Structure 1
Amino acid sequence: MSDADATGAAPAAPSNPAFDDPAYRTGIVELLGLLASGEIIACERLAEDAKMAPDLRTKVEVAQMATSEFGHFLKLRDRLVELGEEPYARMTPFAATFEAFHRKTKPSDYLEGLVKAFVFDGLAADFYREIAAFLDSETRELVLDTMSGTGSSEFVIDEVRAAIQRDPKVGGRLALWGRRLMGEALSQAQMVVAERDDLSTLLVGGADSPGMDLAAIGRMFTRLTEAHAARMDRLGLAS
């Protein structure tokens, strides 16, 4: 058994010059805690949603999406351990926010669950890719890797489009659901960043590491909205 397995912590990773700035290091630790918390809760929710699948094949597909999220979680958790952090302590401050989001956006059926997974997975990936531009190369690579998606896009698109073809009324209901999801997800993202000073610093930068100004942040959210509209179009839904 390794030291990390026995104690839940490990010696700090090899020196990264970017971490010489304490505020930056704290921001990275918070970011990794945020991502890890989101991934494990997404895994749990997808596993729950799989129970609503109409047949064994689709149940397995959704369970595979949950497995992918769990794999992402493990990478983030292990990186926190490498940094000498207790991962679950770093994840805990974000758990309530994610749980509240999932309570507000509990799908009523299998199709709503698929659309939620597709929309939230894509939006989260877009948002963290934007942040990744301001990270050191090592952290950027990890964030981009873990935000690469669950590999389920074509499955979800085919399922939703087939459902709309069978019953066109489904399209209107799912389009409204997609708009609600987008609004809740953007509110969550803005709230998390606003409430955590060191995460905000990663995004907006400081005197020695300038990031986005307010206009750039506005453009970022415009890009997120446009990317969401494109995803909804792929599903055959109006945004």
Structure 2
Amino acid sequence: MSSSPADTARYNRFVADLFGMMAYGELSAFERFSADARHSPTLHDRAVLGRIAVVEFRHYELVSSRLASMNIDAEDAMLPFQAAVDYFHSRTRPGDWFESLMKAYVIDTVSADFYRAISQYVDAATRELIEQIQDSEATTEVLRERLKGALADDPRLASRLALWGRRLLGEALTQAQRVSYEHAFLASLIGGEDNAAAKELVSGLISGLAGNHSRRMTQLGLTG
């Protein structure tokens, strides 16, 4: 059965919002990794994070190009999400290098989980771009191994980083809920006015993100 013009318009707004949020997320990640690289304890770490920053900027360019192909200005698409993302980062400023690593790891993995969950509801072309952007296992592995190395070198970091990881997750989940509701983000995806269905989708999504995070913290030897 074909979609109505209203349904098509609603879905297109959702995709534009999705790409706007992704674009600003990737641009912010580029800035964050660039800053962290400058404060790296070793030249090797600086090079590793610099390389990740380059990848993030390439992702930003991919999303911007897709927006351009939709005749949407990337800045216009990103602006509605700038305040919320910046607020999140202002509330989660790392205290040192190790907290920066944990923040990068948590944001990288939780964001990937979020977009992969969303991708099951979108068209094939949109799903392909999401998968291309979120295919970050190499980045995830680098951050994971660096965290494992830091914890092995100084086991006293475990309790502090476990607490920091829980705070980061809480802030990230709050952010996901806020964006979903303030921008009617997921409601636009599943049919517009069905608030109960939107809340159920958000609830299931948040639960899945929390569960995945907990398993990853356990793999690091931390309490998630």
Same-fold status (TM-score > 0.5): yes
**Is the counterpart of residue 95 in structure 1 residue 114 in structure 2?**
no
1:137: how far off?
Answer: 0.9
Is 2:161 aligned against 1:174? yes
Structure 1 match to 2:209: 224
Residue equivalent to 1:27: 14
Summarize deviations over 1:45-75 as a string: whole Å, max 9, x none.
Answer: 1111112211100111111111111111111
Q: In the alignment, residue 224 of structure 1 is paired with which amino acid?
A: L
Cα distance in 2 for residues equivalent to 1:90 and 1:64: 26
Q: What letter corresponds to residue 191 of structure 2 in structure 1?
A: G
Q: Tell me if the contact between 1:119 and 1:231 (Cα under 8 Å) persists in the aligned partners.
A: no
1:57 matches 2:44: yes
Contact 2:10 2:192 (C-alpha < 8 Å) held by counterparts = no
Q: Does 1:117 align with 2:104?
A: yes
Q: In the comparison of the two structures, how many residue pairs are matched?
A: 221
Q: State the identity %.
A: 35
For 2:20 and 2:179, the matched residues in 1 are separated by 12
**Which one of the candidate residues 138, 146, 153 is aligned to 1:151?**
138
TM alignment of 1:79-90, pairs within 5 A? 79-90=66-77
Distance 2:191 2:132 in 1: 23
**What SS is found at the alignment partner of 2:41?**
coil
Task: Check whether the contact 1:131–1:202 (CA below 8 A) recurs between aligned residues.
Answer: no
Query: Are the equivalent residues in 1 in contact too, given 2:17–2:77 (CA < 8 A)?
Result: yes
* Residues 1:205 and 2:191 are matched in the alignment: yes
- Cα distance 1:234–1:203, how it changes in 2: closer, same or farther (>3 A)? farther
What is the CA distance between 1:204 and its match in structure 2? 3.4
Relative distance call for 1:92 and 1:217 in structure 2 (3 A) is closer
Per-residue deviation, 1:233: 2.1
**Residue 158 of structure 1: how far off its partner (Å):** 2.2
**Separation (CA, whole Å) in 1 of partners of 2:177 and 2:149:** 34
5+ long unaligned stretches in structure 1: 1-16
Asked if structure 1 preserves the Cα contact closer than 8 Å seen for 2:108 and 2:140, the reply is no
Work out the CA distance in 2 between the residues paired with 1:155 and 1:40. 20
Q: Distance in 1 between matches of 2:55 and 2:143?
A: 15
Q: Distance in 1 between matches of 2:216 and 2:4?
A: 36
- Specify whether residues 170 and 219 from structure 1 end up closer, same or farther in structure 2 by C-alpha distance, changes over 3 A only: same
**Cα-Cα RMSD:** 2.2
The one-letter amino acid paired with 2:86 is E
Q: TM-score, normalised by structure 1?
A: 0.85
Are the counterparts in 1 of residues 39 and 97 from structure 2 also a CA contact under 8 Å? yes
Shift of residue 19, structure 1, vs aligned partner: 10
Q: What's the offset of the Cα at 1:217? A: 3.5
Judge conservation of contact 1:39–1:70 (CA < 8 Å) in 2: yes
Structure 1: how far apart are the matches of 2:109 and 2:96? 20
Residues 1:106 and 2:93 are matched in the alignment: yes
3-state SS of paired residue (2:71): coil
Per the alignment, do residues 31 and 43 of structure 1 end up closer, same or farther by CA in structure 2, a change over 3 Å counting? same
With over 3 angstroms needed to count, the CA separation of the structure-2 counterparts of 1:200 and 1:154, relative to structure 1, is closer
| 1:153 Cα offset (Å) | 2.3
Contact 1:68/1:150 (8 A) holds in 2: no
